[in-house]
Structure 1
């Protein structure tokens, strides 16, 4: 599979604003959380921001690989599970954080581990939307999001000169 033609580059400033917007949405929902489970690697940065904003100190990771070559999504591979303490009661009171839900494969796997947890992500694509409870921005399924930790500063060709 080749990269989609639509590109959505996200700067550090924009990502920080979007992660804080997610924290605002979670805060205004009136629900409190006693722990965060972040989906690594993409969920690490938003989890740090959201944990600060919502004052959640208990942070756990679930390590799932789905993009094995940085260009196409493959089968999910569980590299590290979630502690038994957080999986009891189906994850009640746990907030799952990820940067993006794309096809929903990773979200589905984490949901099976924590069916009562609240799943939140910064960005969502249509196939993944039904699996998350809260998100900030929806992008089309054929858009590739370039996260700030994957980019350097380079010249960008104007849209009118790029592929149509």
Structure 2
């Protein structure tokens, strides 16, 4: 049995990777006018890129992980609609997520967007921080290629394993 490697990422490393993705996209010269992030993992990436580029952000909610420590892959589920504040969707889409593991979420998100917005989309490209070799799809932009397919411990993982009651105790507040 092959033991899975693990990668631990600090907040500063995480922000550095998002900035590197922004620079990579910029240096490519590709012109886009809409960012869509796949939530939850792509929220921080999408938020930062929309602030840097000053383009609207839309959110496609997707869920496939749960179980013990949120590390068990299950059925992929999508929201019914994009969440966005603009009246319409841009026609040159940058679709972002934090990583491609199996690649199924990214591949199916592209399929979902084409199924629901095909007439509005002229060009669609993808960007992630981490691209694992086990992925069924290669993103257009990525910062790190991970040949050994490690489990990535991102800095916000702490909040998936902590409760508000634990935080209250940590900061010396009484329970309600």
TM more than 0.5: yes
1:102-121: CA deviation from partner (whole Å, max 9, x where unpaired): 10110111111335311101
- Give secondary structure in 2 for the equivalent of 1:117: strand
Structure 1: where are the runs of 5+ without partners?
153-164
Q: How do 1:29-68 residues align onto structure 2 when only pairs under 5 Å count?
A: 29-56=28-55, 58-68=56-66
> TM-score with structure 1 length normalisation?
0.79
> TM-score with structure 2 length normalisation?
0.74
CA distance in 1, matches of 2:149, 2:43: 24
- Give secondary structure in 1 for the equivalent of 2:82: coil
Task: Determine if contact 1:126/1:138 at 8 Å carries over to the other structure.
Answer: yes
Task: Determine if contact 2:92/2:124 at 8 Å carries over to the other structure.
Answer: yes
- Quote the residue 2:126 is aligned against: 119
Q: How many residues align?
A: 144
Deviation at 1:149, TM superposition (A): 0.4
Q: Which moved more, 1:31-40 or 1:71-80?
A: 71-80
Q: Which moved more, 1:75-84 or 1:120-129?
A: 75-84
1:145 to 149, 152, 158: 152
- Quote the residue 1:73 is aligned against: 73
1:36-62: CA deviation from partner (whole Å, max 9, x where unpaired): 111000101111221222222x11100
- Quote the residue 1:128 is aligned against: 135
The root-mean-square deviation of aligned C-alpha atoms, in Å, is 2.1
- Give secondary structure in 1 for the equivalent of 2:143: strand
Task: Determine if contact 1:44/1:98 at 8 Å carries over to the other structure.
Answer: yes
Change (3 A) 1:16 1:52: same
Structure 2: where are the runs of 5+ without partners?
115-122, 160-176
Give the greater-gyration-radius structure (CA). Answer: 2
